[in-house]
Amino acid sequence: MKIIISVILIIFAVFSLAGAEDKYKLDDIVIRPVNYSFESLSGSQIRKENVNSPVEVLDRVAGVDLRNRGPFGIQSDLSLNGSTYEQVGILIDGVNVNDPQTGHHNLDIPLTQYDLEKIEIDKTGVGSLYGNGAFAGSVNFIVKKPVKKSLNIDTLFGEHALFGQSFSLSLPQESFSTRVSFDHKIAKAARPNTDFEYKTASFYIDKDLAQTNINALFGYQKKDFGADSFYSNLFPEEEEHTETVFTKLGHTSDFSLGKLKDNLFFRKHRDKFILRRNNPTSVNYHTTYLSGIDSELEIPARLADFVFGVNIAEDQINSTNLGKHSRFHQAGSFGIVPKLGDKFTADLRFRADNYQQWGDEETYSAGLGYDLIKERLKVNGSFGHSFRIPTFTELYYSDAANKGNPELKPEKSDNFRIGFDYAQNILELGLDGFLRKGHNLIDWTRATTADPWQATNLGKVDFWGVEFKSKLKTNLKFKYASFDKAAFSYNYMLADKNTGGFLSKYALDILKHRYLLEIFSGFLGLEANFQLSYNQRYYGETYFVGNLYLGKKIHYRDYIFEPFVKIDNFSNAKYTEISGVLQPGRWIQSGLKFEW
Residue type, 424: Q
- Per residue in 247-261, pLDDT tens? 999 999 998 889 999
pLDDT tier for residue 279 given thresholds of 50, 70 and 90 = confident
pLDDT tier for residue 499 given thresholds of 50, 70 and 90 = low
pLDDT tier for residue 151 given thresholds of 50, 70 and 90 = very high
Average the pLDDT over 169-192 and give the result: 92
Average the pLDDT over 544-556 and give the result: 94
Residue 523 has a pLDDT of 84
pLDDT tier for residue 17 given thresholds of 50, 70 and 90 = very low
Indicate left, alpha or beta for 49 from its phi (over 0: left) and psi (-120 to 50: alpha): alpha
Least confident of 143-152, 164-173, 407-416, 476-485: 476-485
pLDDT tier for residue 295 given thresholds of 50, 70 and 90 = very high
Higher pLDDT, 400 or 594: 594
Residue 38 has a pLDDT of 83
Least confident of 72-76, 151-155, 225-229, 395-399: 225-229
pLDDT tier for residue 33 given thresholds of 50, 70 and 90 = low
Exposed, middle or buried by CB within 10 Å (0-12, 13-18, 19+), for 400?
exposed
Residue 454 has a pLDDT of 92
Residue 113 has pLDDT above 50, yes or no: yes
| Number of structural domains the chain divides into | 1
Residue 399 has a pLDDT of 80
Integer Cα distance of 215 and 146 in angstroms: 11
Residue 32 has a pLDDT of 54
Average the pLDDT over 465-493 and give the result: 91
Average the pLDDT over 419-447 and give the result: 93
pTM for the model: 0.93
- Per residue in 449-477, pLDDT tens? 888 889 999 888 899 999 999 999 988 88
- Per residue in 53-87, pLDDT tens? 999 999 999 999 999 988 898 999 999 999 999 99
Integer Cα distance of 541 and 65 in angstroms: 14
Mean pLDDT comparison of 1-10, 100-109, 225-234, highest-scoring range: 100-109
Find all residues with CB under 8 Å of 457, minimum gap 6, and list them: 408, 409, 411, 440, 441, 442
* Residues above pLDDT 90, as percent of the chain: 70
Residue type, 353: D
Residue 541 has a pLDDT of 86
Integer Cα distance of 348 and 89 in angstroms: 20
Residue 210 has a pLDDT of 84
Average the pLDDT over 293-302 and give the result: 94
Average the pLDDT over 171-178 and give the result: 91
- Per residue in 380-419, pLDDT tens? 999 999 999 999 999 999 887 789 999 999 999 999 999 9
Integer Cα distance of 56 and 123 in angstroms: 17
pLDDT tier for residue 29 given thresholds of 50, 70 and 90 = very low
Q: Is the distance from CB of 135 to CB of 88 less than 8 angstroms? A: yes
Residue 567 has pLDDT above 60, yes or no: yes
Query: If DSSP codes are grouped into helix, strand and coil, which group holds residue 391?
Result: coil
Residue 23 has pLDDT above 50, yes or no: no
Residue 296 has pLDDT above 80, yes or no: yes
Long-range contacts at 535-539 (CB < 8 A, ≥ 24 apart): 535/511, 535/575, 536/511, 536/512, 537/509, 537/510, 537/511, 537/512, 538/493, 538/495, 538/508, 538/509, 538/510, 538/511, 538/512, 539/509
Cα–Cα nearest to 538, from 492, 584, 469: 492
Average the pLDDT over 206-226 and give the result: 94
What rounded mean pLDDT belongs to the chain? 89
Give the Cβ contact number of residue 508 at 10 Å. Answer: 20
Give the Cβ contact number of residue 482 at 10 Å. Answer: 18
Query: If DSSP codes are grouped into helix, strand and coil, which group holds residue 571?
Result: coil
Q: Is the distance from CB of 65 to CB of 578 less than 8 angstroms? A: no
Question: Which CATH number do you get for residue 36?
Answer: 2.40.170.20
Average the pLDDT over 525-553 and give the result: 92
Residue 363 has pLDDT above 70, yes or no: yes
Average the pLDDT over 309-320 and give the result: 96
Residue 449 has a pLDDT of 80
Range of the domain at 359: 2-595
